[in-house]
Amino acid sequence: MKAPDSFIPGSPESAPPSLPLAGIKVIDLATFIAGPFCASMLAEFGAEVIKVEEPGKGDPLRRFGKRSECGDSLTWLSEARNRKSITLNLRSAEGAGLLKRLVATADVLIENFRPGTLEKWGLGYDELSRANPGLVMLRVSGYGQTGPLRSLPGFARIAHAFGGLAHMAREPGGVPVIPGSTSLADYSSGLYGALGVMVALRERDKSGIGQVVDVALFESIFRMMDEMVPAFDRYGLVREPLGADTVNIVPHSHYLSGDGKWLAIACSNDKMFERLCVAMGRQDLIGDPRYATIPERDRRRGEVNALVAEWVDGRTALQVLEQCRQGEVPCSLLYNIADIFQEEQYEARQAIVSVEDGRAGALKVPGIVPKLSRTPGRVESLGPALGAHNFAVYQEAMGISAQEVARLIDEGVI
């Protein structure tokens, strides 16, 4: 991974700064994406993350999507970055005891079992917090830890449906489609989970006491549905699908160029619309009472969209981009991943980084978000082999003898 611009090899300050979460230990019991994504973000900024997986099987994410030459999926290699892997049978009494010993030295535990599962194994928060009163526990589930649906299984697609997003993801009268990523709710829940963990750790700095961070997949989607709640509460408005358009605002959509490429144009205020009029050579539209304000344009949505679509259709995509950028109108091609790999802005931002891995070789993965000016995060390793750190954690960190570790492996405890 390329060093940040402020890092100058050979200078007195050339040693990389300590990462902001150095010293924080995270136990990751979660599978698939939401919880592990949270753990990866914490690891990128210095937290030690120990991934706990089922012996002989591991996280199903290892087998999700395209496989790499080392046997694990590319998704696993990317999303399980910067962590150690140990195996542990949580269903066994001895395995539960080992987890309690591990938790006693940790700051954070992340899990995404169905609510009540850890309690059934004697590993609920009440039990674990007795071993470590300062423990922060992130619990991610489909519907949250409370409520009548708490025990139901949940995945991102279900969260999109239950949270109101899937209803909107279609052309009017069309079939609802996936809103870009099947895993959107997983990633957004991981983000909210990381926020919750950091807030809880900050509070623990004052009180010395940990707490539970409860994230429901559907809530991470529902929280992003802008004005839908107050609009229904005040006016009884039920928003219907708009396809590529945006509620309340026009032009704010996707338009097809004369050479068959789609572009996004966004005019979120009256000033932006005036700039677009100049870019289109339609200064006559500026000040026209039919188009002068957001509400007036919204009332003539089809007419306004047709004006912009006709202009875009009469030009190549590059011509539209050039004229919009000269006029300071927000505009972009609809990029696919091949386009992204050629885009200089991604390179300048290190939005894609190449990581050398002993099992998979060099692999490009998404970079660090957010960018910190003084202590930027790092991608130091890709997803590890199953149980690769069993001896390092159990023997070296926990003081269990090599013979005892071998016995635990033979008996399926780890």
Q: Are residues 37 and 149 in the same domain?
A: yes
Measured distance CA(179)–CA(172) in Å, rounded: 15
Q: Are residues 44 and 172 in the same domain?
A: yes
Q: Are residues 397 and 258 in the same domain?
A: no
For residue 262, what is the domain's CATH number? 3.30.1540.10
Give DSSP secondary structure letters for 362-402.
EEEEE--SSPPSSS-------PPPTTTTHIIIIIIIT---H
Q: Are residues 83 and 213 in the same domain?
A: yes
C-alpha 332: how far from chain center: 23
Measured distance CA(32)–CA(61) in Å, rounded: 5
Domain end, chosen from 341, 361, 389, is at 341
Nearest alpha-carbon partner for 147 in 116, 190, 183: 116
Residue 246 lies in a domain: no
**Mean pLDDT, the chain, as a whole number?**
95
Q: Are residues 52 and 170 in the same domain?
A: yes
39 near 119, Cβ under 8 Å? no
Q: Are residues 330 and 356 in the same domain?
A: no
Kindly state the DSSP code that residue 284 receives in the 8-state scheme: G
Residue 17 lies in a domain: no
**pLDDT at site 16:** 58
Residue 369 lies in a domain: yes
Residue 3 lies in a domain: no
Kindly state the DSSP code that residue 73 receives in the 8-state scheme: B
Residue in the structure block whose two tokens are 């954690």:
393
Q: Is 253 helix (H, G, I), strand (E, B) or coil?
A: strand
Q: For the whole model, what pTM was predicted? A: 0.92
Nearest alpha-carbon partner for 39 in 109, 105, 98, 101: 109
One-letter identity of residue 2: K
Catalytic residue among 59, 72, 107, 186: 186
**pLDDT at site 227:** 95
Three-point CA angle 182, 184, 186, nearest 5°? 100
Residue 159 lies in a domain: yes
**pLDDT at site 312:** 98
Which are the contacts of 172, defined by CB distance < 8 A and separation ≥ 6? 240, 241, 242, 243
Q: Are residues 153 and 50 in the same domain?
A: yes
**pLDDT at site 301:** 97
Q: Which two tokens stand for residue 404?
A: 């005892």
Residue 231 lies in a domain: no
Measured distance CA(57)–CA(69) in Å, rounded: 18
Residue 308 lies in a domain: yes
Q: Which domain holds residue 302?
A: 252-341
Q: Are residues 59 and 205 in the same domain?
A: yes
Kindly state the DSSP code that residue 394 receives in the 8-state scheme: I
**At residue 26, what are phi and psi to the nearest 5 degrees?**
-120, 130
**pLDDT at site 88:** 98
Q: Are residues 306 and 380 in the same domain?
A: no
Whether 186 is catalytic is yes
Q: Are residues 322 and 372 in the same domain?
A: no
For residue 38, what is the domain's CATH number? 3.40.50.10540
Measured distance CA(398)–CA(333) in Å, rounded: 53
pLDDT, tens digit only, all 414 positions of the chain: 333 333 333 333 434 568 999 999 999 999 999 999 999 999 999 999 999 999 999 999 999 999 999 999 999 999 999 999 999 999 999 999 999 999 999 999 999 999 999 999 999 999 999 999 999 999 999 999 999 999 999 999 999 999 999 999 999 999 999 998 999 999 999 999 999 999 999 999 999 999 999 999 999 999 999 999 999 999 999 999 999 999 999 999 999 999 999 999 999 999 999 999 999 999 999 999 999 999 999 999 999 999 999 999 999 999 999 999 999 999 999 999 999 999 999 999 999 999 999 999 999 999 999 999 999 999 999 999 999 999 999 999 999 999 999 999 999 999
Pure H helices in 149-216:
156-162, 165-168, 184-207
Number of domains, the chain: 2
Nearest alpha-carbon partner for 320 in 262, 252, 245: 262
Which are the contacts of 353, defined by CB distance < 8 A and separation ≥ 6? 1, 2, 364, 365, 366, 367, 368, 379
Residue 6 lies in a domain: no
Positive/negative CA dihedral, 50, 51, 54, 55: negative
On the 0-12 / 13-18 / 19+ scale of CB atoms within 10 A, 26 is: buried
Phi-psi region of 43 (alpha: psi -120 to 50; beta: other; left: phi over 0): alpha
Domain end, chosen from 316, 341, 366, is at 341
**pLDDT at site 8:** 31
Number of alpha helices (DSSP H) and beta strands (DSSP E) in the chain: 18, 11
**pLDDT at site 47:** 98
Residues paired with 26 in a beta bridge: 49, 108
Q: Are residues 278 and 383 in the same domain?
A: no
Q: Are residues 262 and 315 in the same domain?
A: yes
Domain end, chosen from 315, 341, 367, is at 341
